[in-house]
Amino acid sequence: MGSLYNFLNTHSLYIVLIIVLVIWLGIFIYLYRLDKKVNELYEQNESEKENMK
């Protein structure tokens, strides 16, 4: 258990950077997928408007 504490103590900055990187990556993936879904709904709405004319 002592070696784990030693590792966390000496590499704490890298661990924090990895955690922050994973969080940002998750946010970007979520926003990309959300944008894709919104664009699909927008195109579907536009095609329905064209069909109504």
Per residue in 1-53, pLDDT (tens digit) is 789 889 888 999 999 999 999 999 999 999 999 999 999 999 999 999 888 86
The count of structural domains within the chain is: 1
Report if residue 29 sits inside a domain: yes
**Which amino acid appears at position 12 of this protein?**
S
Report if residue 30 sits inside a domain: yes
What per-residue confidence (pLDDT) applies to 16?
95
What per-residue confidence (pLDDT) applies to 49?
87
Report if residue 10 sits inside a domain: no
Q: Which residue has the tokens 């940002």?
A: 24
Find out whether 15 and 8 touch, Cβ atoms under 8 Å: yes
Report if residue 5 sits inside a domain: no
Residue 8: count of CB within 10 angstroms of its CB: 10
* Those residues with Cβ within 8 angstroms of residue 8's Cβ, 6 or more apart along the chain or in another chain: 15
